[in-house]
Amino acid sequence: MKNVANVQDSRLTLKHWGCLILLIGGIGTLFVAAGWLLTRQGPLPDAPFPTAELWTATPTPLPTPTPLPTQAETGSDEGLMVGMRVKVNGTGAIGLNLRSGPGLAEERVDIATEGESFIIAGGPAENDDLTWWLLKDETAPEREGWAAANYLLPD
């Protein structure tokens, strides 16, 4: 008899079928609710939709080279003498060549920037239709070179 009772207990009762139907229904409801939430459209704004603003880089114009002043324009050769403090003028971004000797054929030893100050240590010397002065840097005395007077002004 025990075997018959065990067989009868293993069958699904109406109570079990009800729970199973509720479980499947709940899972189905979850799928329907998730589908509705994922596909619904949110509220539309009252104002018009924003438009994209396109930013483009504007090329920077290259500076136009300006002609270098002549000795007559700067007037810098007048009044220069040994021991005087002078500053580089009229070279723009190019700078002033400091050379190993007075003349365009001499080796360039350094470049002095616009507005830089020096002491005249020697000269004048005439060569290549230019007047040359030996300049020394006060802050770095080992830095020296010959420069054309066209680009020197008393400081």
Output the six-digit token pair for 146.
């010959």
pTM of the model: 0.51
pLDDT for 133: 95
CB-CB neighbours of 152 under 10 Å: 25
CA atoms within 13 A on the CB side of 103: 5
Instruction: For 59-103, write each residue's pLDDT tens digit.
Output: 777 776 666 544 434 444 568 999 999 999 999 889 999 999 999
Angstrom distance (rounded) from CA 133 to CA 122: 6
Angstrom distance (rounded) from CA 141 to CA 98: 14
pLDDT for 70: 46
pLDDT for 10: 66
Mean pLDDT lowest for which of 15-19, 29-33, 147-151? 15-19
pLDDT for 12: 75
* Best CA proximity match to 64, nearest among 90, 93, 89: 93
Instruction: For 98-137, write each residue's pLDDT tens digit.
Output: 999 999 999 999 999 999 999 999 999 999 999 999 999 9
Whether 138 contacts 118, CB under 8 Å: yes
Instruction: For 8-30, write each residue's pLDDT tens digit.
Output: 556 778 888 888 899 999 999 99
pLDDT for 78: 62
